Amino acid sequence: MKTKRHGAVVGLFAAGALLLTACGSDDNTGGNGGSTTGAAASDVAVECGGKSKLNAEGSSAQKNAIDTFIQSYQKKCSGSDLAYNPSGSGAGVKNFIAGQVDFGGSDSPLSKDKGEVDKATDRCKGNPAWNLPLVFGPVAIGYKLDGVKDLVLNGEVAAKIFNGTVKKWNDPAIKALNGSASLPDKDIKVVYRSDESGTTDNFQKYLKIASKGAWTQGDGKAFKGGVGEGKEKSAGVAQAAGSVDGAITYVELSFAQENKLSMAKIDTGAGAVELTGDTVGKAIDGAKVKGEGNDLVLDLDSIYGTTTAGAYPLVLATYEIVCSKGYDADTAKAVKAFLTVAATDGQAGLVDAGYAPLPKAFQDKLLTAIKAIA
């Protein structure tokens, strides 16, 4: 992890860390005394052991968070390790279903319509797979445009940019949101994820809900805007957008920061909202679980379509996709240990890595589900 990026990210999220009820702090003295703080490391038993090296694959959006979790896991469970391949959400789901990895990482839950739910049940020997939201992080609409640092967009205009309806930076639709700002007569260069990506799926879901009908292309892990240049993985789109004046993309916060992209404020109808710790925390507060039992699928539509003042609407949750039952005993033990550490001790480093720590309500639900894995 790069110190330069961490400095920028810490500055952005420091003010919001308390709002997000950070959990798993190394300070287990209980000094803050707050009832909303997540479970401290000493409060949750971790039964280490089992398979010495787990394998997981998937979302590149959560890669830096997983690195943080691995460090905590190695510290808590000596001799244990996890190898994580940030190959993208599509590959993570595919290879989990194929039994090639112990769990998959995806920025969107298993799709029943695509047959993923049934295939995952088969992989888990007739038992359901669970979607466990372990990592929360904001998605930035990142751009590079000389002389423009305070761009404001809304769902409708963003949709028209990413489906090619709005082609110039000085288009009247953009100018109407940016007052007296000087916008150049320059082509907009869209950069999108060329690999299957849960980030793409979440972004397109946001456009569909927030664009007032301007986005008709649908959602899914493949980008459907029909415009721009595709690049693989989060690092690829961020690097490409950061190298071309006039470029715009959608990418997770830490990658936008690392590549020095400007980030658009989003007007949800109650004024322009900047991406900060406080505004992300307000959005996460509105997330609800729609899955049943320990399958913790989130209903993010209320976030994407929010008109709550001060709530930043582009937030994704990355799921760890696991078997509820069907692992061999050693794998089950190790998966439970890793996820327990990630949901407790591992949360302490997330602000530093550019993510939002788990709100206590989600942490409690996660720990209940993790404990039930057999």
Q: What is the CATH number of the domain that holds 243?
A: 3.40.190.10
Ligand-binding site membership of 108 (annotated): no
Lowest model confidence (mean pLDDT) among 18-32, 59-73, 132-146, 250-264? 18-32
Is residue 32 predicted with pLDDT exceeding 80? no
Ligand-binding site membership of 107 (annotated): yes
Q: Tell me the pLDDT band of 14, cut-offs 50, 70 and 90.
A: very low
Instruction: State residue 356 phi and psi, 5-degree precision.
Output: -105, 125
For residues 9 and 130, state if they share a domain.
Answer: yes
User: Dihedral of the CA atoms 335, 120, 237, 297 (nearest 10)?
Assistant: -80
Model pLDDT, residue 329: 98
Ligand-binding site membership of 61 (annotated): yes
Domain count, the chain: 2
Ligand-binding site membership of 256 (annotated): no
Ligand-binding site membership of 60 (annotated): yes
pLDDT in tens, 51-64: 999 999 999 889 98
Ligand-binding site membership of 106 (annotated): no
Model pLDDT, residue 174: 98
Would you say residue 327 lies in a domain?
A: yes
Would you say residue 34 lies in a domain?
A: no
Ligand-binding site membership of 243 (annotated): no
For residues 190 and 273, state if they share a domain.
Answer: yes
Is residue 328 predicted with pLDDT exceeding 80? yes
Instruction: State residue 168 phi and psi, 5-degree precision.
Output: -120, 150
For residues 97 and 61, state if they share a domain.
Answer: yes
Q: Tell me the pLDDT band of 37, cut-offs 50, 70 and 90.
A: very low
For residues 172 and 276, state if they share a domain.
Answer: yes
Percentage of residues of the chain with pLDDT beyond 90: 71
For residues 312 and 187, state if they share a domain.
Answer: no
For residues 78 and 148, state if they share a domain.
Answer: no
Model pLDDT, residue 282: 85
Tokens of 315: 């937030």
Inter-residue contact 190 to 82 (CB < 8 Å): no
Would you say residue 265 lies in a domain?
A: yes
User: Dihedral of the CA atoms 332, 334, 336, 339 (nearest 10)?
Assistant: -140
DSSP state of 252: E
Q: Are strands 152-153 and 265-267 parallel, antiparallel or unpaired?
A: parallel
Q: Tell me the pLDDT band of 338, cut-offs 50, 70 and 90.
A: very high
By residue range, what is the domain housing residue 146? 138-280
For residues 128 and 144, state if they share a domain.
Answer: no
For residues 244 and 293, state if they share a domain.
Answer: no
Q: Tell me the pLDDT band of 358, cut-offs 50, 70 and 90.
A: confident
Out of 237, 264, 280, a domain closes at 280
For residues 110 and 143, state if they share a domain.
Answer: no
CB atoms within 10 A of CB 321: 26
Tokens of 56: 């997981």
Q: 0.85 exceeded by the pTM?
A: no
Is residue 19 predicted with pLDDT exceeding 80? no
Is residue 139 predicted with pLDDT exceeding 70? yes
For residues 292 and 238, state if they share a domain.
Answer: no
C-alpha span between 207 and 143 (Å, rounded): 17
Would you say residue 118 lies in a domain?
A: yes
